[in-house]
Amino acid sequence: MSNYDVIIVGAGPSGIFCAYELIHKNPDLRVLMLEKGRRIEERQCPKRKTKVCVGCRPCSITTGFAGAGAFSDGKLSLSPDVGGNLPEILGYEKAVELIQESDEIYLKFGADDSVYGLGKEKEIREIRRKAINANLKLVECPIRHLGTEEGYKIYMRLQEHLLEQGIEMKFKTMVENIIVEDGRAKGVITDQGETFYGDEIVCAIGREGADWFSHVCKEQGIETLVGTVDIGVRVEVRDEVMEFLNQNLYEAKLIYHTPTFDDKVRTFCTNPSGEVAAEYYDNGLAVVNGHAYKSSELKTSNTNFALLVSKNFTKPFKTPIEYGKQIAQLSNMLCDGKILVQTFGDFRRGRRTTEERLCRNNLIPTLKDAVPGDLSLVFPHRIMVDIEEMILALDKVTPGIASDETLLYGVEVKFYSNKVVVNKEFETNIAGLRAIGDGASVTRGLQQASANGLSAARSILTKMN
């Protein structure tokens, strides 16, 4: 049994930046980080060499120091309008300030100085004009691109810095439950039978831990709301189709409300010259994602991005994470645990993509073990219509997206729908327990998660003083 000033559950961006702020402002604090994955230098995915998932547990792509962010495309959205709910919780100006401060830390540890989306007023005006004509909303957001391989190095420097500063880290350690006594969080219990006590507990689990935390919330009476479910596909096209958007914005964030159902659909996580990738969760669930690299040697000829349909449910529905999992599991069932791919031409005609038709496609899939199939056997009709209408609208902004050869990979699901109720200090209704980051549905990306960590740390320091 050990006692700490602060215990941080999860070593993703929100947890990292919380620890960073705590130890820099008060070097005498005893801070423990618990992470069920591995140290960042031990996070190796065999599939990158073998091209076949070997079922590592836990998955090194989704868990470990830096969370899923370590192997993501590494885009830092420098506007509070993108990536989470900090403006609603803290106010817009405070969110701007925190994003700037977290960005300065990334720069300190080696992030690229260049920012996409600045100084391109004429080009962005043209993109906005086309978007308006297609009934799409362009959300303007400067982007700092770390790149998958460079982001990995930045987080490795952060890991070593925190260790040097005295942060205690335990890897391959899964927290099984939070100890709550008389309405106050006292500590945590791990899967190895260890008990750690802390004056303050910070749950900084990412999307991968959202399901676990939702069960803890239910068991411990932590107040939550039913969050939004984001489900969709990853789209892959040739770079030439997206060239104007990629060069001027890097990631064009576009929102559409579909004419048939008035559902919100948005573009997310664009990867110019990138590759489509699979992510595997502890229960064997495979979902699709995308990466892009800084190095020219690792670049491809394709751009990929997500199309996500946002669904809000009303009572009695209260299990959005399970809903997303069920849809992803349908796809996995059809593809023997792999990712399904379908051409947009076959998608519109309501027929299964075959190996033969995929082989004669000019567009070569970057996810080599994706299985040709039929998304209509996976998605509800409403989501199918939403995806088609969004692609046709996007084609008016950047012609070629609605080509028959465009590839759709399924399923992409974002597991941040366990919306924990928090105050401005990110405290839950359980005293001494804070919830931050993507897994608590406070944020939806690297930059706001990092800023969230800084803010939570400052609220803890203020309380201690």
- For 194-209, write each residue's pLDDT tens digit: 999 999 999 999 888 8
**Taking the alpha carbons of 175, 176, 181, 183 in that order, is the dihedral positive or negative?**
positive
- Greater model confidence, 313 or 145: 145
Confidence of residue 53 (pLDDT cuts 50, 70, 90): low
Span 443-459, pLDDT tens digits: 988 999 999 999 999 99
| 3 state DSSP class of 335 | coil
Distance CA 332, CA 411 (A): 9
Kindly report the average pLDDT of the chain as a whole number: 92
Are residues 256 and 273 part of one domain?
Answer: yes
Are residues 356 and 269 part of one domain?
Answer: yes
| 3 state DSSP class of 287 | strand
As given in the structure block, the two tokens for residue 94 are: 């405070």
Distance CA 109, CA 283 (A): 34
Half-sphere exposure (Cβ direction) of 357: Cα atoms closer than 13 Å: 19
CATH value at residue 70: 3.50.50.60
Are residues 186 and 151 part of one domain?
Answer: yes
Are residues 451 and 308 part of one domain?
Answer: no
Are residues 155 and 208 part of one domain?
Answer: yes
Q: How many domains does the chain have?
A: 2
pLDDT value at residue 211: 83
Question: Has residue 104 been placed in a domain?
Answer: yes
- Greater model confidence, 58 or 449: 449
pLDDT value at residue 297: 87
Distance CA 72, CA 12 (A): 12
Confidence of residue 55 (pLDDT cuts 50, 70, 90): low
- Least confident among 34-48, 300-314, 418-432: 34-48
Distance CA 219, CA 7 (A): 20
- Other CB atoms within 10 A of residue 326 CB: 11
Are residues 99 and 232 part of one domain?
Answer: no
> Do residues 338 and 371 touch, judged by C-beta distance below 8 A?
yes
Whether pLDDT at 414 is above 90: no
Are residues 384 and 300 part of one domain?
Answer: yes
pTM, entire model: 0.86
Are residues 247 and 178 part of one domain?
Answer: no
Are residues 350 and 268 part of one domain?
Answer: yes
- Least confident among 16-20, 194-198, 313-317: 313-317
> Do residues 279 and 287 touch, judged by C-beta distance below 8 A?
yes
Are residues 219 and 237 part of one domain?
Answer: no
Question: Has residue 361 been placed in a domain?
Answer: yes
Tell me which residue range forms the domain holding 382: 121-142+228-414
Are residues 275 and 160 part of one domain?
Answer: no
Are residues 104 and 8 part of one domain?
Answer: yes
Span 72-117, pLDDT tens digits: 778 899 999 999 999 999 999 999 999 999 999 999 999 999 998 8
| 3 state DSSP class of 120 | coil
- Other CB atoms within 10 A of residue 182 CB: 6
| Phi, psi dihedrals of residue 36, rounded to the nearest 5° | -75, -15
